[in-house]
Amino acid sequence: MSAVYTTDEYGRPFIIVREQEKKSRKTGVEAAKSHILAAKTVASIVRTSLGPRGLDKIMISPDGDIIITNDGATILQNMQVDNQIAKLLVDLSKSQDEEIGDGTTGIVVFAGALLEQAEELLERGIHPVRIAEGFEKASKIAVQHLDLVSDIVPWSKDDTSNLFKCAKTSLGSKIVTKCHDLFSKMAVDSVLSVADLDRKDVDFELVKVEGKVGGELADSQVIYGVVVDKDFSHPQMPKEVKDARISILTCPFEPPKPKTKHKLDISSVDEYKSLQEYEKKTFEDMIENVKKCGSNLVVCQWGFDDEANHLLLAHKLPAIRWVGGPEIELIAIATSGRIVPRFEDLSSEKLGTAGTVREITFGTTNERMIVIEDCANPKAVTILIRGGNKMIVDEAKRSLHDAMCVVRNLIRDNRVVYGGGAVEIACSVAVSEKADEVSTIEQYAMRAFSKALDQIPLTLAENSGLEPIETLSDLKSRQTETGNFRLGVDCMSTGSSDMKEQYVFDPLISKRQQFLLATQLVKMILKIDDVIVHSGSDE
């Protein structure tokens, strides 16, 4: 047992850090290498999923639930990672997903490649701080070069072909490639429906993605309104309501109860009948309040019993019950209605309006959903995704989210760089040339950054079944000779390496975020030189 001591102002010793046998400690290069090993392991797991020919992963939860995906963020979030440095890479992918929505696999592969290069420099005796400074310089050069090699893709509400092509690029490696055009069009149409083009802002809260097992991917559609996974409360209620005026209620259809503890003793038939009459009158008063304000449809957050349901049917007032909080909020936004907490507060001004509210059925089991269309607020959109099983529906949702994020990024900034590793090769060449002009030791770190950039096209070529080093060397020499920075890995074997001809685009802000976030994380990892692990915790 050992401890670190110091003394107080009277010269008496006291313990600052007690290092017991229960603790293990790593310092200096040993600590850095253990961090790099953990990060490289995580990067190698998602590396094979990069690109249009990337492979899928199957993840089985402790409950036996199965997820099949090649989305980097989903893979990492569903992995049980114990190592703290590996968790940082999971957070890195999550940050990219939340901020940009696309490029979650690429950023982890790039961060892993940077750490791999850093390990070689550490073995050569270069101090971690100098490596971090070199990476920082190289990152700035790469980001500046992105602006030089970027192109502006023109688009408008009337001509969305370029947005469609970029969405298609994002979906190239996904399970929905069978319905490539349909999902790309759905992503563009839904985002443009809710976009504020003057502010260059997209509110994804207004886009609801609903999945329903059954049918096939080609049956998926965009519905300009709200889809709720409910049905009308009574089977004899009309299946369609035209010119709907909707009461949106968060109060239950039941008699009011005293807030104190209460007990009701019924000792005779007359008392029971009077109670029944009271309940019936209460229900009828509630229904009268709804009808008096001009409503012809009720959407209620709570349920109601058979008697209330029967009375609603008798008064020809269709109703939908058990509508959840987020859904009821979306209905209120879409129909420009107000959520009403008490029947007495109902008025015609608080009603939501919609052109049609209809019930649709699916398959042989007659599963039902409610569709609210032609709403007062046209900016509310629902995408209904169909698929043969739950795994396909869930993966289609994730794929569509990535495509929608790409379209949103182009609305924010319509500059693009070319994919297929073309932009990484161009930045790698630029960083390598700048490194030759640096006289200090940071030049080694800058060249290492250049090699890490090469890892993306190498991985793309490898995952596509091509010869990685030969492909990279050929592309790099052709880019240098011709100055054509659009040349990338021909993953789909089309015969052309020009990514502009193949319409393989990446939003500029996505690629910039990848470079900056990965560099910041690697700098942070390199500067950790002391790890104290309690034996009771995970190492």
What is the pLDDT at residue 503? 82
For residue 330, the model assigns a pLDDT of 87
- Confidence check: pLDDT of 517 > 70: yes
Q: DSSP string of 166-204? A: HHHHHGGGSGGGGGHHHHHHHHHHHHHHHEETTTTEE-G
Q: Which tokens belong to 109?
A: 């592969």
Token pair of 412, please?
């924010």
Are 55 and 100 in contact, with CB atoms under 8 Å apart?
Answer: no
Residue among 48, 69, 104, 459 flagged as catalytic: 104
CA atoms within 13 A on the CB side of 402: 28
d(CA 54, CA 142): 26
**Per-residue pLDDT at 139 exceeds 90:** yes
Note if 71 is an active site residue.
yes
The tokens of 108 are what? 């982890």
**What's the mean per-residue pLDDT of the chain?**
84
105 catalytic residue (yes or no) = yes
Measure the CA angle with vertex 517, ends 513 and 521; round to 5°. 170
DSSP 339-355: EESSGGG--GGG-EEEE
CB-based contact 244:357 (threshold 8 Å): yes
pLDDT at 22 over 60: no
Q: Can you tell me the mean pLDDT for 211-234?
A: 87
**pLDDT tens per residue across span 397-442:** 888 888 898 888 888 888 888 888 899 999 999 999 999 888 888 8
Give the per-residue pLDDT at 428: 92
Question: Residues 50-56: what's their mean pLDDT?
Answer: 85
112-138 pLDDT, tens digit each:
999 999 989 988 888 888 999 999 999
Amino acid at 76: L
Q: Is the pLDDT of residue 2 over 60?
A: no
Here the tokens at position 331 are 């209905």
The bridge status of strand 352-362 relative to strand 367-375 is: antiparallel
Q: What is the pLDDT of residues 259-286, one digit of tens each?
A: 666 666 777 887 778 877 877 788 888 8
Nearest to 204 by CA among 216, 214, 212, 196: 196
pLDDT, residue 96, reads 85
Rounded Cα gap, residues 35 and 25, in angstroms? 13
pLDDT of res. 440 = 87
Q: Is 421:473 a contact under the CB 8 Å cutoff?
A: no
Q: Which helix (H) or strand (E) holds 209?
A: strand 207-213
Q: Which amino acid is at 169?
A: T
Q: What CATH fold (topology level) applies to the domain 24-152+418-534? A: GROEL; domain 1 (1.10.560)
Provide the token pair at 500: 């502009």
d(CA 357, CA 241): 5
- HSE of 137, CA atoms in CB hemisphere, 13 A: 22
103: left (phi over 0), alpha (psi -120 to 50) or beta: left
Could you report the per-residue pLDDT of 56-66, keeping only the tens digit for each? 888 888 888 88
Tokens of 407: 């379209």
**Beta strands 352-362 and 240-249: pairing type?**
antiparallel
DSSP 217: G
Q: For position 256, what pLDDT does the model report? A: 67
> Coil, strand, or helix at residue 97?
helix
Is 282 one of the annotated active-site residues of the chain? no
Asked if 334 and 246 touch (Cβ cutoff 8 Å), the reply is no
Which member of 394, 402, 454, 506 is catalytic?
A: 402
| Cβ neighbours for 408, distance < 8 A, ≥ 6 positions apart | 101, 191, 195, 202, 204
Q: State what percent of residues in the chain have pLDDT above 90.
A: 13
Structure tokens at 427: 């930045």
Whole-number pLDDT of residue 18: 56
Query: How confident is the model over 149-203, as pLDDT tens digits?
Result: 888 888 888 888 888 888 888 887 777 878 888 999 999 999 988 888 888 888 8
- Structure tokens, 401: 């989210």
What φ, ψ does residue 240 adopt, rounded to 5°?
-150, 135
Domain parsing of the chain, residue ranges: 24-152+418-534, 225-377
d(CA 142, CA 429): 10
28 pLDDT tier (thresholds 50, 70, 90) = low
- The 10 Å CB-count burial string (b at 16+, else e) for 493-510 is eeeebbbbebbbbbbbbb
Whether the per-residue pLDDT at 17 is higher than 70: the answer is no
Q: How do residues 303-343 score in pLDDT, each as one tens digit? A: 887 878 888 888 888 999 888 888 888 888 888 889 988 88
Nearest one of 334, 345, 253 to 301, comparing CA atoms = 253
Average pLDDT over residues 373-377: 84
Pick the CATH number of 225-377 from 3.50.7.10, 1.50.10.10, 3.30.70.260, 3.40.50.720: 3.50.7.10
- Partners of residue 69 on adjacent β-strands: 57
Q: Specify the pLDDT at position 539.
A: 45
Q: Of 114, 115, 44, give the one whose Cα is nearest residue 75.
A: 44
Please write down the HEC assignment for all residues of 298-317. Answer: EEECCCCCHHHHHHHHHCCC
> Same fold for the domain at 24-152+418-534 and the one at 225-377?
no
Residue owning tokens 């990219």: 96
Place of tokens 């504020």: 196
Cross-strand bridge partners of residue 201: 196
**Inter-residue contact 202 to 408 (CB < 8 Å):** yes
104 assigned to active site:
yes
**Least confident range of 51-55, 340-344, 528-532:** 528-532
Percent of the chain with pLDDT over 70: 91
- Which residue is catalytic, options 48, 69, 71, 454? 71
pLDDT given at position 27 = 66
The runs of H, that is alpha helices, within 100-160 are 104-123, 128-149
Q: 23 pLDDT exceeds 80? A: no
CA 69 to chain centre: 13
Residue 189 CA to residue 183 CA, distance in Å, equals 10
